[in-house]
Structure 1
């Protein structure tokens, strides 16, 4: 059940950021079912028994597709039209409406922790995109970064995850390019 895996205090945006930011550089926290379980525990959440088999592999692949989708939508919020052709396998995630405590979506069939997290993430994505502050969820414009963050600036103009890193690199590249053409 999704409700039993949700960490208290992990709101929709936090869950979306957690899923979207599971890969940076060479490290992928959604590489396989065991790494998904370790990542989920690292968030302070409870995890069920070990997932194994083809169902778990399919569920982990869905979770990776959701990561691509969330990053793509966050890039769109930052003025970049993403290529979402790599998003695949999500149609296999069946969801059912659950009205027990709070109206939400749950995995329609058992499939382990990764499938439950994917269902919770889809529900969080649907709720988050319906809110007026959704455009503040952005992905870094740095080509080698794409870290997803919430833009807390007053005029919603933040473009990079951190000005000290990605923003500085982008500004220096612009500066060098401008001086090469004038020199």
Structure 2
């Protein structure tokens, strides 16, 4: 069963509302947060709730620096002509519903956090054997391999 790109992009985009490399955070400003939510056709949750949800999700995906309590949100299930559907009008509930669908499909493990300390970008590992480590081999992976080579060779 193919992974719905809208589920992946919503979860990854939400996880990446913080950018370590650029030192920016969409959730640092309520107006920016409202704009981000509106761009996805969703109602914004209170900023503190969104921060808590993002931190818990990043921790669950593998970010060792994310901390905090796990959120609890309400979602509705509506029976439609196509079958049961999770109805989630706010960003946090929509993200958690999308993440739940990824779990059900067996794709949760494909969500990863780049291990580079100066990056920590969330990404979806689309490789066949789920072995991708870096968000980008050209940037973070190359930088880390060059660093390890310099350490081994003393250069």
- TM-score normalized with structure 1 length: 0.68
| Structural mapping, 1:35-74, within 5 Å | 35-41=32-38, 44-46=39-41, 59-74=46-61
CA RMSD of aligned residues (A): 2.7
Q: Deviations for 1:121-146, whole angstroms, at most 9, x for unmatched residues?
A: 12112221222222222111111211
How far does residue 96 in structure 1 lie from its aligned partner after superposition?
A: 4.1
Aligned-pair CA distance for 1:105: 5.0
Asked whether the equivalents of residues 71 and 146 of structure 1 are also in contact (C-alpha less than 8 Å), the reply is no
- How many aligned positions are there? 147
SS state at 1:71 partner: helix
Q: Which residue of 1 aligns with 2:115?
A: 141
Asked if residue 120 in structure 1 is aligned to residue 94 in structure 2, the reply is yes
Specify whether residues 125 and 47 from structure 1 end up closer, same or farther in structure 2 by C-alpha distance, changes over 3 A only: closer
Q: Return the index of the structure with the highest Cα Rg.
A: 1
What's the counterpart of residue 68 of structure 2?
87
Rounded to whole Å, the distance in 2 between the matches of 1:129 and 1:13 is 11
State yes or no: 1:15 paired with 2:15: no
Distance 2:85 2:41 in 1: 22
Alignment partner, residue 85 of structure 2: 103
In 2, Cα distance between equivalents of 1:65 and 1:172: 36
- What is the aligned partner in structure 2 of residue 150 from structure 1? 124
Rounded to whole Å, the distance in 2 between the matches of 1:137 and 1:154 is: 14
Shift of 1:100: 5.0
- SS, match of residue 99 in structure 1: strand
Q: Structure 1 residue 89: deviation in Å?
A: 6.5
Counterpart contact for 1:62–1:89, Cα < 8 Å: no
Give the conservation status (yes or no) of the 8 Å contact 1:20–1:148.
yes
TM-score by length of 2: 0.78
Structure 2 segments unaligned to the other structure (5+ residues): none
Question: 1:32 maps to which residue?
Answer: 29
